C-alpha cells in the first residue's frame, strides 16, 4: 500500500493496527488513530503549528520528575482526569462522589490518634474536621483508614515548602472509631493556583484561563469490602467553585466551614479563639455493588 493522500491515510493506518493480537490494544489503537486523524483534519495545522505541538509535548515531558507530573496536570486541566474518574465511579445512592487525586498525596503520611492537631504549628485559622464513614446503607464502618491532606493558609502544601517547614504537616492517616467516626484539628486551607510555571501554565494563559482551585481538604478513605474513595470537601462560598481549573467540584462535595465562636468545640476542646468546623459524612461503595461500565 502506498500513495496515500489526506483522505485515504486514515483507513491505511487503521488497517495496519488491526493486526494487534491483544483485542484491547487493537480497540485503543484504532480509536486513537480515528480521533487523532479527525482532529488533524478539523484543525488543518500548518507545519509550524505541528512543530509547536511536538515542542509543547516535549517540554511537558521534560518538566516531569519524581516531584512534578506535568502530563497529569495536562490531563487534569483538559478535563480528562475527571472524565476518567466519572467513567470509573458510577455510584449507587448513598456513596460519596469522587474527584481528582491531585499531585500532593504522599504515601508516607504519619498515622495520628483521633483528635490530633496536624497543623504542624503552622499559622492559620484553627479548623476542627469531624465526620463519619458508612456503607451506602448507612452502616458505620469502624477501623476505616482516613487519609487527609490540604494546603495551608497561603495555599501551599507541605511538600511545596519542606525546606521552610522542615517536616510533613497538614496531612495524616486516621482510623475511624467503633461508631465509624473520625475527628482532628488543623488550619483552614486556602484556594491555590496549580503549578503554572511550565507548559500547562502557558496553555492556560493562551486559553485565557486562571490556574486556581477552590479551597478544599482531600480525603482518601478505605475499608475492607469497599471501594477506595478519593475525594475532597470544598469550602462553600469560595470564589473558584464554578471555575476550578481541573473541573473537580461537585455540589455534593461543598460544605460550610462553619465560623464558630470561642467555647467548647464538638470534640470537647475548649477554644479561646474563634475557629471553623467542617463536618462531612462519607458513604463508601461496596465492592460487590460496583456498577459495571456499559
Ligand atoms: C490538588 O487538589 O491537589 C490538585 C489537583 C489537580 C491538579 C493540581 C492540584
Ligand atoms: Fe488540593
Q: Among residues of the chain, what percentage have pLDDT more than 70?
A: 98
Cα gap 147→235, rounded to integer Å: 18
CB 149, CB 168: distance < 8 Å:
no
Q: Are residues 176 and 227 in the same domain?
A: yes
Q: Are residues 39 and 84 in the same domain?
A: no
268 conformational bin, left if phi > 0, alpha if psi -120 to 50, beta if neither: left
User: What atom in ligand 1 is closest to the CA of residue 232?
Assistant: 2
Please compute, for residue 28, the number of CA atoms within 13 A of its CA located in the half-sphere on the CB side. 5
Q: Are residues 139 and 274 in the same domain?
A: yes
Number of domains observed in the structure of the chain: 2
Q: Are residues 196 and 252 in the same domain?
A: yes
Q: Are residues 40 and 86 in the same domain?
A: no
pLDDT the model gives residue 292: 55
Among 285, 177, 184, 188, smallest CA distance to 235 is for: 188
Among 59, 124, 116, 89, smallest CA distance to 292 is for: 89
Q: Are residues 25 and 89 in the same domain?
A: no
Q: Are residues 16 and 85 in the same domain?
A: no
Q: Give the number of whichever ligand sits closest to the CA of residue 71.
A: 1
Mean per-residue pLDDT, 23-29: 98
> Is the predicted pLDDT of residue 98 greater than 90, yes or no?
yes
pLDDT the model gives residue 168: 94
Q: In this structure, which residue's CA is closest to atom 3 in ligand 1? A: 102
> Is the predicted pLDDT of residue 293 greater than 90, yes or no?
no
Q: Are residues 105 and 242 in the same domain?
A: yes
Answer whether 100 contacts ligand 1 (Cβ < 6 A).
yes
Q: In this structure, which residue's CA is closest to atom 9 in ligand 1? A: 102
Note the pTM of the prediction, 2 decimals: 0.93
Q: Are residues 174 and 259 in the same domain?
A: yes
Taking the centre of ligand 1 as the mean of its atom positions, its distance from the CA of residue 207, in whole angstroms, is 19
Answer whether 191 contacts ligand 1 (Cβ < 6 A).
no
Taking the centre of ligand 2 as the mean of its atom positions, its distance from the CA of residue 211, in whole angstroms, is 12
Q: Are residues 289 and 161 in the same domain?
A: yes
How much is the mean pLDDT over the chain? 96
Range of the domain at 23: 1-44
**Looking at the domain assignment, is residue 139 inside a domain?**
yes
CATH number of the domain where residue 249 is located: 2.60.130.10
Q: Are residues 218 and 167 in the same domain?
A: yes
> Is the predicted pLDDT of residue 1 greater than 90, yes or no?
no
Answer whether 103 contacts ligand 1 (Cβ < 6 A).
yes
Answer whether 189 contacts ligand 1 (Cβ < 6 A).
no
**Looking at the domain assignment, is residue 121 inside a domain?**
yes
User: What atom in ligand 1 is closest to the CA of residue 105?
Assistant: 3
Taking the centre of ligand 2 as the mean of its atom positions, its distance from the CA of residue 171, in whole angstroms, is 11
pLDDT the model gives residue 95: 96
pLDDT the model gives residue 67: 82
Quickly list H helices, the chain: 9-17, 23-43, 47-62, 70-77, 80-88, 162-165, 199-206
pLDDT the model gives residue 66: 83
Cα gap 136→94, rounded to integer Å: 4
pLDDT the model gives residue 110: 95
Q: How confident is the model over 229-265, as pLDDT tens digits? A: 999 999 999 999 999 999 999 999 999 999 999 999 9
Q: Are residues 38 and 102 in the same domain?
A: no
**Looking at the domain assignment, is residue 245 inside a domain?**
yes
**Looking at the domain assignment, is residue 74 inside a domain?**
no
> Is the predicted pLDDT of residue 173 greater than 60, yes or no?
yes
Amino acid at each position: 500500500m502506498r500513495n496515500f493522500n489526506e483522505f485515504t491515510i486514515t483507513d491505511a493506518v487503521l488497517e495496519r493496527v488491526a493486526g494487534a493480537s491483544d483485542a484491547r490494544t487493537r480497540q485503543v489503537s484504532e480509536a486513537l488513530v480515528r480521533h487523532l486523524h479527525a482532529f488533524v483534519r478539523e484543525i488543518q495545522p500548518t507545519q509550524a503549528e505541528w512543530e509547536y505541538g511536538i515542542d509543547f509535548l516535549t517540554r511537558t515531558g521534560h518538566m516531569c520528575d519524581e516531584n512534578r507530573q506535568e502530563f497529569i496536570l495536562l490531563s487534569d486541566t483538559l478535563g480528562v482526569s475527571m472524565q476518567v474518574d466519572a467513567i470509573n465511579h458510577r455510584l449507587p445512592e448513598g456513596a460519596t462522589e469522587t474527584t481528582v487525586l491531585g499531585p500532593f498525596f504522599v504515601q508516607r503520611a504519619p498515622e495520628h490518634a483521633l483528635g490530633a492537631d496536624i497543623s504542624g504549628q503552622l499559622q492559620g485559622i484553627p479548623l476542627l474536621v469531624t465526620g463519619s464513614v458508612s456503607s451506602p446503607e448507612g452502616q458505620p464502618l469502624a477501623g476505616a483508614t482516613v487519609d487527609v491532606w490540604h494546603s495551608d493558609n497561603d495555599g501551599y502544601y507541605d511538600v511545596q515548602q519542606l525546606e521552610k517547614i522542615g517536616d510533613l504537616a497538614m496531612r495524616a492517616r486516621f482510623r475511624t472509631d467503633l461508631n465509624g467516626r473520625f475527628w482532628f484539628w488543623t488550619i483552614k486551607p486556602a484556594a491555590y493556583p496549580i503549578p503554572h510555571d511550565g507548559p500547562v501554565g502557558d496553555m492556560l494563559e493562551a486559553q485565557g484561563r486562571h490556574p486556581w482551585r477552590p479551597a478544599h481538604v482531600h480525603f482518601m478513605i478505605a475499608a475492607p469490602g469497599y471501594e477506595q474513595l478519593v475525594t475532597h470537601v470544598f469550602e462553600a462560598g469560595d470564589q473558584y467553585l464554578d471555575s476550578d481549573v481541573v473541573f473537580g467540584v461537585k455540589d455534593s462535595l461543598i460544605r460550610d466551614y462553619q465560623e464558630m465562636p470561642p467555647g467548647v468545640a464538638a470534640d470537647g476542646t475548649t477554644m479561646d479563639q474563634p475557629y471553623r468546623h467542617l463536618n462531612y459524612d462519607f458513604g463508601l461503595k461496596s465492592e460487590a455493588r460496583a456498577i459495571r461500565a456499559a
